[in-house]
Structures are given as C-alpha cells and as structure tokens.
Amino acid sequence: MFIVIDGPDGSGKTTLAKSLTQRLCQKGFQALYTSEPTYDSEAGKAARQILRSGEVTDIYAFADLFVADRKEHLANLIKPSLLAGRWVVCDRYKYSALAYQQLQGVNPQYLIRKNQECLVPDFAFILVPQNTNILMGRIAQRGERTELFEKKEHLAATIPYYRSLKEYFPKENIWYLNADDSTEDNLGQVLGVVGVG
C-alpha cells in the first residue's frame, strides 16, 4: 500500500506520516517512512540546495528537478518496497509540486503532464490548515533557518492549490484532513480510511 501525506510547511505532515508508519508497524505491517525531496539523488540534492539559497533562476528547470528526484525515488525505493509487500508512507509527493511550483508561476498542466508517469498512490491525505498563524508558530518553534517557501504569505498562498487537488487529479483517492486538529485525531481518521483502524 502506497500512502502519501502532503500539505503546506508546518501543517504537521511529517509528524503524522511518522506516527502512521509507527502505528502500522505496531499493528504488524512492514511499513517504511520516506520523504521528498530525497537526500539521495543528485536532483534532490540540487533542489534542496536551491531551497536553502532561495534563488530560483528557472522555475521550469526547478520543477523538473523535483520530478527527476521523484522518478529515482520510485525506482530505487518506493516500487521495490511495495513489491516486497511493505507499506510505504511518503511525506510530500507530486501534490507539493502542484502547490509550490504553481505558486512560482509554473503552468499546472505542465506539472500534471510531467508527473503523469509517477505511480498514483493508493491514498493521498492532504493536511489543510484553517489558521495560518498556527503554521508559522510551528515553523518558528523548529528554530531552523527559514527556507524559500516558509514565509507566511507563501504558506497561506499554497492552501488554495492544495484545496484544488481533486480538480487536478479527479481519478485519485485524495482525502482532506484538518491540519488544526491533533495528530492523534488525524491518525485515527487515516487508519479508518485505509481500513486498519
């Protein structure tokens, strides 16, 4: 089973994805947590470097880096794990591209087409916040340097794109979660939807 958890920075997706992986393991499933952009591929490293520097010279080339990283991630880790009978919980996937790269001005049809070959998850859970101040508070608490997209206006601006995902991918199994709810509440919902609650 291939499950994606996505949402804006600070929405709690990493905590939820890690808790889900842990709970699945406790229930006796073989589950692994992974995330994008990866730290493994050259494209993933290049994307992270640009995120840190905050300087994007070509938004289409930047979008292509995430797709190249995703394809390597699928080939090297996600697909082999699924074939071995494991559950894969992926923190961010192509849905981040529709939110962040579209925000930068990339045409959504370009993003959809470029990501067409990428495996469709069995379930995608999107954390959407009602209150962006909560997001900024979470990011500030981390005490890390603020990256390219981690400014409040960016965070709020990605939300409408996340809300439109069902229009971009009408055939996919996309579920929305309220990012203001607790991780435990959202975990309960996810387990219920995937049928292991």
Contact residues for ligand TYD, defined by CB under 6 A: 9, 14, 36-37, 51, 66, 92, 96-97, 100-101, 147, 149
How many Å from the N-terminal Cα to the C-terminal Cα in the chain? 15
Beta-carbon neighbour count of residue 170 at 10 Å? Answer: 8
Helical residues (DSSP H) of the chain, grouped into ranges: 13-26, 42-53, 59-73, 79-83, 94-96, 102-103, 108-114, 132-142, 152-163, 165-168, 183-194
Beta carbon nearer to ligand TYD, 87 or 91: 91
The CB-of-27 to ligand TYD minimum distance in angstroms stands at: 26
Contact indicator for 60, 95 with CB cutoff of 8 Å: no
Beta carbon nearer to ligand TYD, 101 or 189: 101
Q: Kindly report the backbone phi and psi dihedral angles of residue 91, in degrees, each rounded to the nearest multiple of 5, phi listed first.
A: -90, 105
Beta carbon nearer to ligand TYD, 30 or 76: 76
The CB-of-192 to ligand TYD minimum distance in angstroms stands at: 25
The CB-of-29 to ligand TYD minimum distance in angstroms stands at: 24
Which residue has its beta carbon closest to ligand TYD?
A: 100
The CB-of-193 to ligand TYD minimum distance in angstroms stands at: 22
Beta carbon nearer to ligand TYD, 90 or 194: 90
The CB-of-39 to ligand TYD minimum distance in angstroms stands at: 8
Beta carbon nearer to ligand TYD, 46 or 196: 46
> What is the rounded distance in angstroms from the CA atom of residue 3 to the CA atom of residue 178?
17
Contact residues for 184 (Cβ-Cβ < 8 A; gap 6+): none
